[in-house]
Amino acid sequence: MAAIALGQPGGRLADERESLREDLRTTGMVWEREIIRFFRTRARILSSFIQPVLFLFVLGYGMGSLVGATAGFDFKKFLFPGIVAMTVMSTAISSAISIVWDREFGFLREMLVAPVSRTALVSGKTLGGASIATVQGTIMLALAPLIGVHLTWLVVLQVIGIELLMAVALTAFGVFVASHIQRMEGFSVVMQLLLFPMLFLSGALFPLSGLPGWLTVLTRLNPLTYAVAPLRQVVFAAQHVPPIAAARFSAGVTLFGYTLPDSVNIGITCVFAAVFLALAVTGFGAAE
């Protein structure tokens, strides 16, 4: 009979360091599983591009002709960062759906009965989904030349950073929702009810200035708003945006008449990410 170590030598600290190492290893393995599964479903990779690309061209050209260009800056360019955010969002959420599948196929139990912390499991799941979402969002950047959006390496790096943060918040949010849902059908209903409003009220598809009061309140309550704004500002920073265009296609979020700087937006997104992660950890396996 091997490997039943009853009471190991070493103090409490050594135990804690050891268990942290095991937790990290678990997180890494859960992450790896997400990645393996993602690459095994090519259809999913493709399908998660279809909707954003459709939005980009249909809205971009359709609405674009209605809105018109301001000093050479058109709606497509405004829309582009929003579409990147949309890609990240839909990929992150659909990664979180896999928890419902895991429950339905029993694999969730395999994870939940193991002598590992839920935090390690949720972190792995969230980071896995967030990595995939970030990669997908970044791939969308390849469309930039078509839209006439100019990118530098620095911008790309900044975008990746913001995407990752946003993806962590959204995947954690999805994991939290998914943990409380028993059935696949339930998840799609809840997501339809949450996902589209969140997307439409985030400023991804239209500027947040000059909205009616109630709409302004709703957009400011939306966590996604604070991730979309810095993403757009970062992209805009590399474009030539004439002042009148900047006023019309405003990228920032104003709160009580004060335009939030990127650092604050990112700070708010960090807070949301932390809150959603904490919720996801407490909720994980709740319905078991």
Partner 1 sequence: MTGDPVRAGPGRPAWDPNDVTGPAARGRAAEGSGIAMTDTQTSLPGRLAAVPGGEAETAVRADALSKRYGDVTAVREVSFSIRRGEVFAFLGPNGAGKTTTVRMLCTLARPSAGRASVAGFDVARQPRAVRRRIGLVFQEQTLDDRLTAEQNLRFHAVLYHVPRAQVRQRIDRALELVALADRRHDLVSTFSGGMARRLEIARGMLHTPAVLFLDEPTVGLDPQTRALVWEDVLRMRREEQVTIFLTTHYMDEAEYADRLAIIDYGRIVATGTPDELKRQVGADTVELVTSDDAAAARRLAAAGFRVRSGEEHLVVFAEDGEGLVPGLIEAAGVRVRSVHVHRPTLDDVFLHYTGRQIRDEPAGRALPMMARARTARR
Q: Which of residues 111-170 bind partner 1 (CB under 8 A)?
A: 111, 113-116
> Please, which residue, 74 or 102, has the CB nearer to partner 1?
102
Among residues 14, 36, 54, 193, the one that binds partner 1 under rule CB under 8 A: 36
Residue 4 near partner 1 by CB under 8 A: yes
Residue 244 near partner 1 by CB under 8 A: no
Instruction: In whole angstroms, give the CA distance from residue 148 to residue 212.
Output: 31
Among residues 29, 143, 194, 275, the one that binds partner 1 under rule CB under 8 A: 29
Residue 13 near partner 1 by CB under 8 A: no
Residue 1 near partner 1 by CB under 8 A: yes
- Choose the stretch contacting partner 1; rule: CB under 8 A; options: 26-34, 247-255, 261-269, 274-282: 26-34
Residue 106 near partner 1 by CB under 8 A: yes
> Please, which residue, 43 or 221, has the CB nearer to partner 1?
43
DSSP code string of 71-130? TTB-HHHHHHHHHHHHHHHHHHHHHHHHHHHHHHTTHHHHHHTSSS-HHHHHHHHHHHHH
> Residue 263 in contact with residue 158, Cβ under 8 Å?
no
> Residue 172 in contact with residue 276, Cβ under 8 Å?
yes
- Torsion angle (degrees, nearest 10) of CA 170, 250, 158, 266: -50
Chain centre distance of CA 140: 14
Residue 101 near partner 1 by CB under 8 A: yes
Measured in residues, the chain has a length of 288
Instruction: State the nearest-atom distance from the C-beta of 240 to partner 1, in Å.
Output: 46
- Choose the stretch contacting partner 1; rule: CB under 8 A; options: 32-40, 52-60, 131-139, 146-154: 32-40
> Residue 266 in contact with residue 162, Cβ under 8 Å?
yes
| Cα atoms in the 13 Å half-sphere on the side-chain side of 284 | 29
**Interacting residues toward partner 1 by CB under 8 A:** 1-4, 6, 22, 25-26, 28-29, 33, 36-37, 40-41, 101-102, 104-107, 109-111, 113-116, 184
